[in-house]
């Protein structure tokens, strides 16, 4: 699917400049092909990585059928059996371990945006291979305005925009608002966990019969994704998928 921004009608002079730029970039790539974002030694093979680094990615091959938790056998994990999540499915191509943990930290905390291309590429490849119905809208997991100002980037919204362009699906970053700061679920006891996320998110507008994919870099406890899925379904969404680059192993829930 072409980038929607590239399909508009431009004046002839602008189209001319664009084609000169594209030719110059193609020539530059031929003279000096882009190198791997991780090892910086080899030529890029796929989504910013060389063939060797690509082959070492920790693929999340065997996992829970519902929440993509890494497992030894493909089935439903204990948590999904006891308490099925509100979201309908999870796309999580990798397990959260070396080297993807370093790449996602560099993206999130040091604004190394080139790693977003790798993460978005991995997600779109998996979505295409899955053959699942495509959502109507993509939404990045929101942060409060204060947190975005402090960090400088909401990596989930950034990823949602990149994936949306690649798949031709609109990404709407203003659909869900985070109203207040929350603590990390894994640091809290059971009673505090329930209070922590309650009422923290708000959906603007109706989503009658819409299929939504909620995008983030990592899925850890799944509690935030579950809470936002509740809010989306209360607003009328008929299906909510979670799209992340990596899934962490079992954590206390």
Site string for Zn ion, 38-67 (x = CB under 5 A): xx--x-------x--x----------x-xx
Residue 156 CB, nearest approach to Zn ion (Å): 21
> How many residues of this chain interact with Zn ion, rule: CB under 5 A?
12
Beta carbon nearer to Zn ion, 177 or 253: 253
Which tokens sit at 252? 């206390």
Helix (H, G, I), strand (E, B) or coil at 248: coil
What single string gives the DSSP state of each residue in 53-83? HHHTS-B--SB-TTT--B-SSSS--HHHHHS
Q: Is 242 in the site for Zn ion (CB under 5 A)?
A: no
β-strand pairing of 94-95 with 239-247 = parallel
Structure tokens at 127: 């979505």
Q: Can you tell me which residue has the tokens 């059928």?
A: 65
Least separation in angstroms between residue 97's CB and Zn ion is 17
Closest distance of CB 78 from Zn ion, Å: 8
Structure-block tokens of residue 43: 């030529």
At what angle are helices 114-130 and 155-167 packed, to 10 degrees? 50
- Cα–Cα distance list, 150 to 2, 56, 141, 180, 200 (Å): 34, 33, 17, 14, 19
CA–CA distance from 38 to each of 41, 65, 246 (Å)?
A: 8, 31, 17
Q: Which stretch binds Zn ion (CB under 5 A): 19-27, 31-39, 137-145, 177-185?
A: 31-39
Name the residue nearer to Zn ion (CB basis): 232 or 242.
Answer: 242
In the complex with Zn ion, the residue whose CB is nearer, 20 or 251, is 251
Tokens (6 digits) for 101? 């943990």
Please identify, using beta-carbon distances, which residue of 1 and 39 lies nearer to Zn ion: 39
Answer whether 35's CB lies under 8 Å from 42's CB.
yes
Minimum CB separation from Zn ion for residue 117, in Å?
Answer: 14
User: Closest separation between CB of residue 45 and Zn ion, Å?
Assistant: 8
CB of 180 to Zn ion, least distance (A): 28
Smaller CB separation from Zn ion, 39 or 179: 39
* Helix, strand, coil in percent for the chain, rounding step 5: 40, 15, 40
CB of 219 to Zn ion, least distance (A): 10
Residue nearer to Zn ion on the CB measure, 239 or 247 = 247
Residue (74 or 202) nearer to Zn ion, CB: 74
Helix (H) or strand (E) holding 213: strand 211-219
Q: CA 232, CA 213: separation in Å to the nearest integer?
A: 10
Interactions with Zn ion, residue window 73-102 (CB under 5 A)? 77, 80
Contact residues toward Zn ion (CB under 5 A) are: 36, 38-39, 42, 50, 53, 64, 66-67, 69, 77, 80
């Amino acid at each position: 699917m072409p980038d929607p921004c590239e399909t508009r009608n431009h004046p002839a002079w602008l189209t001319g400049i664009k084609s000169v730029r594209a030719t110059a970039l193609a020539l530059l790539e031929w003279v000096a092909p882009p190198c791997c974002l991780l090892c910086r030694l080899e030529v890029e093979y796929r989504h910013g990585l060389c063939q060797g680094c690509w082959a070492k990615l920790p693929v999340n091959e065997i996992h829970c059928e519902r929440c993509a938790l890494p497992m030894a056998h493909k089935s439903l994990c204990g948590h999904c059996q006891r308490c099925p999540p509100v979201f309908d499915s999870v796309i999580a191509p990798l397990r959260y371990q070396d080297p993807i943990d370093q790449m996602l930290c560099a993206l999130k905390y040091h604004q190394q945006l080139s790693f977003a291309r790798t993460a978005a590429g991995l997600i779109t490849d998996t979505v295409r291979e899955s053959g699942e119905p495509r959502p109507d809208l993509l939404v990045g997991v929101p942060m409060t305005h204060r947190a975005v100002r402090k960090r400088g980037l909401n990596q989930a919204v950034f990823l949602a925009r990149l994936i949306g362009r690649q798949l031709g699906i609109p990404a709407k970053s203003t659909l869900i608002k985070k109203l207040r700061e929350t603590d990390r679920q894994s640091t809290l006891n059971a009673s505090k966990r329930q209070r922590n996320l309650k009422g923290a998110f708000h959906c603007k507008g109706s989503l009658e019969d819409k299929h939504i994919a909620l995008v983030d870099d990592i899925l850890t406890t799944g509690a935030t994704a579950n809470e936002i899925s509740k809010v989306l379904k209360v607003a009328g969404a008929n299906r909510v998928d979670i799209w992340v680059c990596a899934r962490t192993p079992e954590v206390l829930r």
